[in-house]
Amino acid sequence: MVIMRQPPAGLRFHDIRVVRSAGGGCRENGADVTVPRTGTTDSRAKRDLGLCMREPESKRTPSLAYIPSSANEDTKEARAERTRFHSSSMKTRLPPFPNSWFHLAAFSEFKKDEIRSFKFLGHDIIAFKTGDDSVTVMDAYCPHLGAHLGRDAKGQNNRLKNGCVECPYHHLTFDAEGTCVKGPGQAPAPKAKVFTWETEIVEGLVFVYHHKDKLPSTWKVSEFFRPEGTWSRPYMSYQGVHPIHPQDAAENSVDTLHFRTLHRFDQVDQVTEAVADRQHFYQTLHIGKMGILPKFMRNVPIYSVVKEAAVGVGFPMAHNRFHPIGLQVNHLVFLTPIDETSTNFWFYFQVSFSDVKVPRFLQRQKERLDRRLNEHVKRAIDRVVHRAAYTVLSPMFVFINSQDLDIWSTKSYCDRPIVLGDDGNIHLFRKWCKQFY
């Protein structure tokens, strides 16, 4: 960690470049500064740079932060510069929070009477299970005097009491609608109401709707995402936080050129034109084999028809149908901003064998077996088969996404990109995204 207490006159944050050398020294703006491994600097370095350094725990380039030495030193210019420095990690000029549905968690993660706290699009929220098929999400702070409803009086995670949330400070009690049903004197306090967020559960995944003016949604995720046929439950293959705007990452789905250059697919052809249908954007691609496949697999005549889609800004997905075997895979990507500088990423994986072509003699055996088994056993067998398919196939998709993440975490958003002929429908996608701001 590099702490700058008194920046030299005329020197701005982005003018400082600190690189640790093998000998424990630093180079600042082209000039070498010797930094002993004890963590102290010589008097000249302190006088010229005002740097107080210590050996970082890792070999990575140390980060830089500005800490005023006194309250009077935290001027308007210093605050503006500090804000510019931190917000630059998102590297985008887009409004930070689109009006759209965003993934929060899997429904199975919520336990009975448990209250979970989240950072969600610049807000502190709490969420808890209400019944067997619903989740309530509300603001985290009591409207009385601002106590956090997700913590109890001992600083531990709060729990529901008779299906309601009790404030640890003055014991105001709120139901699942955010209404105060009991105040400090046992009587309700109708003016004390907590804002509740609109939620929807699709395929066992919890989505929360965000609008900057807290307006209700005019569309649902389920209108555009309802897999047909028999599908496995979504398996999470990755979760992480990265400094990128959700639209910038979702734009990846319409960038057809990167499938050849970054992921090394030997063939990428657009089968259908891109369609912007209200809050649903999609196109169909014909994609060949990846260049990273082992040699013994490169001659296997398997290709995929991929429907690249986006449901709102925070939910790009790819429906893959592998030919000629008929295996189907849904690769779901969820992009939920935490704050203005970071976005939570989830990768989920679904598989379906509904259209898999089975030899006729095996099909007859399967039909005989199905007649002998009850539904519980069939579902158990399906879960085992789906889990096995996920275990085999998910590493390939995780590897593909890891290539994207390396780019996303360091790229900068271009307001006016120089679009090449093979770039796809980037301009159309950006025009479609404007409805969410």
Of 19-28, 85-94, 288-297, minimum mean pLDDT range: 19-28
CA distance 420 to 401: 23
Compute the average pLDDT of residues 186-200.
Answer: 89
Q: If 0-12 CB within 10 Å is exposed, 13-18 middle and 19+ buried, where does residue 115 land? A: buried
Would 239 be classed as within a structural domain?
yes
Question: Would you place residue 281 in the very low, low, confident or very high pLDDT band (cuts 50, 70, 90)?
Answer: very high
Query: Can you give the pLDDT at residue 94?
Result: 86
217 located within any domain = no
Q: Is residue 377 part of a domain?
A: yes
* Whether 341 contacts 125, CB under 8 Å: no
In a domain, 65, yes or no: yes
Say how many domains are in the chain: 3
- At 259, which amino acid appears? F
Instruction: Tell me how far apart the alpha carbons of residues 4 and 52 are, in angstroms, rounded to a whole number.
Output: 7
Query: Where do we find the tokens 């969420």?
Result: 127
CATH number of the domain within which 170 lies: 2.102.10.10
What's the pLDDT score for residue 264? 84
Q: Are 127 and 38 in a shared domain?
A: no
Judgement on whether residues 236 and 384 belong to the same structural domain of the protein: yes
Grouping H, G, I as helix, E, B as strand and the rest as coil, residue 228 is: coil
User: Are 246 and 273 found together in one domain?
Assistant: yes
Residues 416 and 282 grouped into a single domain = yes
Q: What is the mean pLDDT of residues 191-215?
A: 95
Question: 157 and 266, same structural domain?
Answer: no
Question: Domain boundary at 30, 58, 90, which?
Answer: 90
- What does the pLDDT average to over 133-160? 92
More confident: 432 or 390? 432
Let me know: does 193 contact 172? Beta carbons within 8 Å: no
324 plus 244 within the same structural domain: yes
Same domain, 193 and 244: no
The range of the structural domain enclosing residue 118 comes to 100-210
Task: Say whether both 185 and 238 belong to one domain.
Answer: no
Q: Does a structural domain hold residue 226?
A: no
128 pLDDT more than 70: yes
Whether the per-residue pLDDT at 92 is higher than 80: the answer is no
Per the prediction, the chain carries an average pLDDT of 77
Residue of 57 and 307 predicted with greater confidence: 307
Percent of the chain with pLDDT over 70: 70
Residues 119 and 175 in one domain: yes
- Alpha-carbon distance of 347 to 83, in angstroms, equals 31
In a domain, 337, yes or no: yes
**d(Cα 65, Cα 53) in Å, to the nearest integer?**
12
Same domain, 86 and 108: no
DSSP, collapsed to helix, strand or coil, labels residue 32 as strand
The pLDDT value given to residue 5: 41
Please indicate, yes or no, if residue 331 is contained in any of the structural domains: yes
Residue 106 has pLDDT above 80, yes or no: yes
176 and 243 together in one domain: no
Residue at 321 is within a domain:
yes
Would the pLDDT of 74 be above 60? no
CB atoms within 10 A of CB 374: 8
pLDDT for 229 equals 77
Q: Sort strands 173-174 and 199-202 into parallel, antiparallel or unpaired.
A: unpaired
Judge contact between 347 and 401, C-beta under 8 A.
yes
Which of 28, 62, 90 finishes a domain?
A: 90
Residue closest to 331 by CA, chosen among 202, 227, 221, 258: 227
pTM for the full predicted model: 0.74
Same domain, residue pair 256 and 184: no
Burial zone of 125 (CB within 10 Å; 0-12 exposed, 13-18 middle, 19+ buried):
buried
Q: How far apart are CA 210 and CA 215, in angstroms?
A: 8
User: Of the spans 47-56, 120-129, 185-194, 300-309, which averages the highest pLDDT?
Assistant: 120-129
The arithmetic mean of pLDDT across residues 96-101, rounded, is 95
**pLDDT of 139 strictly over 80:** yes
Please give the average per-residue pLDDT across 392-421, as a whole number. 84
Indicate if the pLDDT at residue 344 is higher than 60: yes
Q: What is the CATH number of the domain that holds 379?
A: 3.90.380.10
* End position of a domain, from candidates 90, 125, 151: 90
User: Which of 14-23, 265-274, 352-361 is modeled with the greatest confidence?
Assistant: 265-274
